[in-house]
Structure 1
Amino acid sequence: MNPRNPTHHRFFVFSGKLAGLLYSLFCYLCFLLTTLYLIGFLSGIGVPKDINAGASLSGPLAALVDSLLITLFAVQHSGMARQGFKRWWTRFVPAPIERATYVLSTCLVLVLLFWLWQPMETPIWRVTSACGHALLMALFWLGCFVAVFATFLISHFELFGIKQAIAAWRSTGPAPLTFKTPLLYKLVRHPLYLGFVMVFWATPEMTAGHLLFALLSTFYILIGAHFEEKDLVNLFGERYQRYQQNVAMLVPLSKRKPGSRHHDQN
């Protein structure tokens, strides 16, 4: 086979693009399945092992293992998202599948967390009234909706690596980055994180293990948001700084700084 043959070259290029697209779709499927399991893991609905189920080590050892698992997730999820890591990582991983590989790595770490999680069933609170139980579960499902909806308000398929693979398939190149603040992003800068915080904390049966998960995950979100905003300031400069001044990070606030004006793009 002559590698200089134009027909052969086009075949190899086509095969590479197809493989990249199929790989990205596989990673997206893994994301969907992992997300569904995460919902069941926290709610106790429809999964073989939830956050309060299964055999466990003693209290201090269980807390240590769980803390290490969440720390591993935080390091992977935040570290791989940094621009410096991406510049190094794309020396080995083709740029069109870099995001999909990040998504797959996150899924694998979450699967490890589900598998090795050590339940700590000491009750912190238990809501027994039907009304209170329904209210907390409604907040839980609202948090799920907010998190998912927030991804579609920006670019859901770019966030999870599909758009990049399609652009490579079409040979169109990556789309230019734009700054926009649609709907929920006018209320808080990170509605995706707000949805996750609601999911972590809205439960009618809070155990010591669930509380540890909620505390450490919320702490990670605050740290991750800090580093993410540094990247966004580097990308969008003064425009993002004005956005920071006008819009709260996680808790919706109606009061803004006097004299500030909200500049955004729908």
Structure 2
Amino acid sequence: MTQTDAISQDTKGSPIARITAFLYGLVAYLVFFGTFLYAIGFVSGLVVPKTIDTGTVVPMTQALIVNILLMSLFAVQHSVMARRQFKEWWTQYVPKSVERSTYVLLASLALILLVWQWRAMPTVLWQIADPQIAMAVTVVAFIGWLIVLTSTFLINHFELFGLHQIANNLVGRPMPAPRFRTPLYYKFVRHPIYLGFIIAFWAAPTMTVGHLLFAAVTTAYIVVGALLEERDLVDLFGDDYRRYKDRVSMLVPWRKSA
């Protein structure tokens, strides 16, 4: 979910079609928001009925295969559908006004499938025994989630999740052209959303085999996804983004970009 997701919008169609698109986008957003909240509990092991370390326990090899397939499905959907070439192809069939909402909905469904079918691998690799230190690590994890959420608002949360598009379509107004901006966190790291996820996934007072697998695979996907995304950003913003890459690190704050 990136700065590149502004897309031109079809402002033609009947009022019923526009209202339908608006309601569809709202449903997609609500599904996303509920899934996002559940994902926080799932990874953190708090509140929700099924967490990353609970649920079905199967032999290690089977759990490894199932979990990697689930994460791979999410990664492929999330990356392929975000690429400019794919958008240009499938907006021949999907109205541009709901392209982003559809992407968000399908990403949410892929995450729901992952949570539902995740196989627990509860063997503990390390655990922080001191309750105060454990609490501090949990707080760090929630800071990571907070960075994720606040970063989306810095670059336009409502456009990122399709609400801006469906609202403009409803009133017959085109989407504005994308602008290159680097507010707050973006002055220190090019991908604060991804950095927030990495912090949230790795800051765990109890690290199980399953949690380690999840954190390692998702971190690898984040790095690959960021590299793919930056190709689109260079195509979109040209020299502005090249200069930005030269002065700001991709994922490690304050480290000079390579």
Question: Does TM, scored on the shorter chain, surpass 0.5?
Answer: yes
Gaps of 5+ in 2: 1-12
CA distance in 1, matches of 2:65, 2:246: 38
CA deviation after TM superposition for structure 1 residue 252, in Å: 0.5
Amino acid in the other structure paired with 1:127: I
Q: Specify the SS of the correspondent of 1:112.
A: helix
Counterpart for residue 43 of structure 1? 44
CA deviation after TM superposition for structure 1 residue 79, in Å: 0.5
> What does the per-residue CA deviation read over 1:216-257, in whole Å, with 9 as the maximum and x for residues that have no partner?
000000000000000000001111011001001111015578
Q: Specify the SS of the correspondent of 1:253.
A: coil
Indicate yes or no: 2:67 matched with 1:66: yes
Counterpart for residue 52 of structure 1? 53
Counterpart for residue 159 of structure 1? 160
CA distance in 1, matches of 2:222, 2:21: 30
Counterpart for residue 31 of structure 1? 32
CA deviation after TM superposition for structure 1 residue 92, in Å: 1.1
CA contact (8 A) 2:25 2:163 kept: yes
CA distance in 2, matches of 1:59, 1:22: 43
Q: Specify the SS of the correspondent of 2:126.
A: strand
CA contact (8 A) 2:125 2:207 kept: yes
Indicate yes or no: 2:249 matched with 1:248: yes
CA deviation after TM superposition for structure 1 residue 147, in Å: 0.3
1:12-31 counterparts in 2 under 5 A?
A: 13-31=14-32
CA deviation after TM superposition for structure 1 residue 134, in Å: 1.4
Counterpart for residue 197 of structure 1? 198
CA contact (8 A) 2:19 2:170 kept: yes
Q: Specify the SS of the correspondent of 2:53.
A: coil
Q: Specify the SS of the correspondent of 1:224.
A: helix
CA distance in 2, matches of 1:144, 1:85: 29
1:144-223 counterparts in 2 under 5 A?
A: 144-223=145-224
CA distance in 2, matches of 1:188, 1:118: 34
Q: Specify the SS of the correspondent of 1:57.
A: coil
CA distance in 1, matches of 2:189, 2:257: 12
Counterpart for residue 144 of structure 2? 143
CA distance in 2, matches of 1:246, 1:103: 31
CA distance in 2, matches of 1:213, 1:256: 27
Q: Specify the SS of the correspondent of 1:195.
A: helix
Indicate yes or no: 2:107 matched with 1:106: yes
Runs of at least 4 residues off by over 3 Å: 254-257
Gaps of 5+ in 1: 1-11, 258-266
CA distance in 2, matches of 1:72, 1:31: 17
CA contact (8 A) 2:249 2:256 kept: no
CA distance in 1, matches of 2:184, 2:231: 23
CA distance in 2, matches of 1:214, 1:248: 21
The structure showing larger relative contact order (alpha-carbon pairs under 8 Å, at least 6 residues apart) is 2
CA deviation after TM superposition for structure 1 residue 214, in Å: 0.2
CA contact (8 A) 2:168 2:174 kept: yes
> What does the per-residue CA deviation read over 1:152-208, in whole Å, with 9 as the maximum and x for residues that have no partner?
000100000000001111111111110000000001000000000011101101000
Identity of aligned residues (%): 47
Counterpart for residue 227 of structure 1? 228
CA distance in 2, matches of 1:48, 1:206: 19
CA distance in 2, matches of 1:256, 1:192: 17
> What does the per-residue CA deviation read over 1:33-65, in whole Å, with 9 as the maximum and x for residues that have no partner?
000110010111111110000122200110111
User: Which range is displaced more, 133-142 or 247-256?
Assistant: 247-256
CA deviation after TM superposition for structure 1 residue 131, in Å: 2.1
Q: Number of matched residues?
A: 246
Counterpart for residue 262 of structure 1? none
Distance change in 2, residues 1:255/1:107 (3 Å): closer
Counterpart for residue 4 of structure 1? none
Q: Specify the SS of the correspondent of 1:45.
A: coil
CA contact (8 A) 2:53 2:210 kept: yes
Amino acid in the other structure paired with 1:235: L
Counterpart for residue 128 of structure 2? 127
Amino acid in the other structure paired with 2:108: C
CA contact (8 A) 2:245 2:257 kept: no
